[in-house]
Structure 1
């Protein structure tokens, strides 16, 4: 079952890449594994899924211990409290949800103590929703400059969680906005930001068409069959 699910999603990603004139290897499939038991993740790992994204620190730490014998590429994709950074900083390859100065300072502090450069994505609130985290687009440049000054933090791109729409096509403008914001930063600062983390189970094909390099898939991989 796990391998069948993974194969189906991989085929859809492949078709989306072909439709967009992109290569399959340009897009990382990240298993959004919140609430998924460790043994299920182990099954998916053996089917070929290597990267998992967690939302809750306590849940992640348990899975990290359960799966220590596997070379999992762990990402953190949820809202991250500053006081929890110390628990994950040595275990996570990429933090997707950097969205405020206090969190930046804590990541810089904890990574500096370890002599590590922590790779991050800046979360952008593309829909202007009060219930979601993320830097407002008009504040992105200023926040990005602060990230560049943090020697132990390396921004690799942007992430967003757009407003939900019944028709996934209506989400396209938010993905296009994130890509545009990334392109503006690249041009203004003369550097490369390789990643756009955008697109989930119901809209990832459109995200790929708009330039996503990481798609966060949960329900299609781990959810129940309807």
Structure 2
């Protein structure tokens, strides 16, 4: 089932890439495995998904233990509490959800202890929703500048979770906005930010058309009753 889902997803990714004049290899398909058990993650891995993202530190550590025989590339994509950083810092290649100075500082401190430069994305709340994490678009430059001052932390792009709207076309402006924010930062600071983590099961094609480099798919990949 997971392999069939992946096949359909790959077709949609290719179509979106063709439409946008992009190459398939520009896009990382991340399995958002919050609701998937270790067995389903294992299935997805053998079908061809090599990058997975977890949202809760405790669940992540349990799954990691069950899957330690696989060379999975793990990302942390959920809201990260500062007191959980120490548990994941040596286990993830990318943290998608830096949204405040205190978290950036803690990641930097923990990374320094293990002599690592931790790649991160800054999460931006493009929809201005109170229920969601992420720095406001207005506060982005300030947080970005603060992150630049930290030696063991490297910002390589931006991430967003747009408002939950069924029609992907209505989500498009939020993705476009994140891309524009990234372009402004690149211009203002003369720094290349290669990644935009945006697009989930309902809207990943539109996200690809708007410049996503990492799409985070959960239901579309792991669920038997999600229809693409």
- Flag whether TM exceeds 0.5 (same fold): yes
2:166/2:202 contact within 8 Å kept: no
The answer on 1:151 being equivalent to 2:147 is no
- Secondary structure of the residue that 2:158 maps to in structure 1? strand
* CA distance in 2: counterparts of 1:126 and 1:91, whole angstroms: 29
- Secondary structure of the residue that 1:70 maps to in structure 2? coil
* CA distance in 1: counterparts of 2:166 and 2:215, whole angstroms: 19
Deviations 1:11-70 (A, max 9, x none): 111111011100000000000000211011111111111000101110000111111111
- Secondary structure of the residue that 2:120 maps to in structure 1? strand
Match of 1:95 in 2: 95
* CA distance in 1: counterparts of 2:67 and 2:11, whole angstroms: 27
TM-score by length of 1: 0.99
Match of 1:85 in 2: 85
Structure 1: unaligned runs, 5 residues or longer: none
Deviations 1:158-177 (A, max 9, x none): 00000111211001110000
Match of 1:119 in 2: 119
1:224 deviates by 2.9
1:141 deviates by 0.5
Match of 2:189 in 1: 189
* CA distance in 1: counterparts of 2:55 and 2:168, whole angstroms: 23
* CA distance in 1: counterparts of 2:205 and 2:92, whole angstroms: 26
In the TM superposition, 1:1-226 aligns within 5 A as 1-225=1-225
CA change 1:166–1:43 in 2 (3 A) is: closer
Structure 2: unaligned runs, 5 residues or longer: none
Deviations 1:55-98 (A, max 9, x none): 11100001111111110010000000000000000000000000
- Secondary structure of the residue that 2:69 maps to in structure 1? coil
* CA distance in 1: counterparts of 2:70 and 2:164, whole angstroms: 34
Number of matched residues? 226
Deviations 1:127-181 (A, max 9, x none): 0111111010011111100001100000000000001112110011100000000
Deviations 1:160-203 (A, max 9, x none): 00011121100111000000000000011111000000000000
The Cα RMSD (Å) is 0.7
* CA distance in 2: counterparts of 1:31 and 1:89, whole angstroms: 20
Deviations 1:91-117 (A, max 9, x none): 000000000111011001000000000
* CA distance in 1: counterparts of 2:48 and 2:166, whole angstroms: 31
* CA distance in 1: counterparts of 2:106 and 2:216, whole angstroms: 25
* CA distance in 2: counterparts of 1:40 and 1:149, whole angstroms: 40
Segments of 4+ in structure 1 off by > 2 A? none
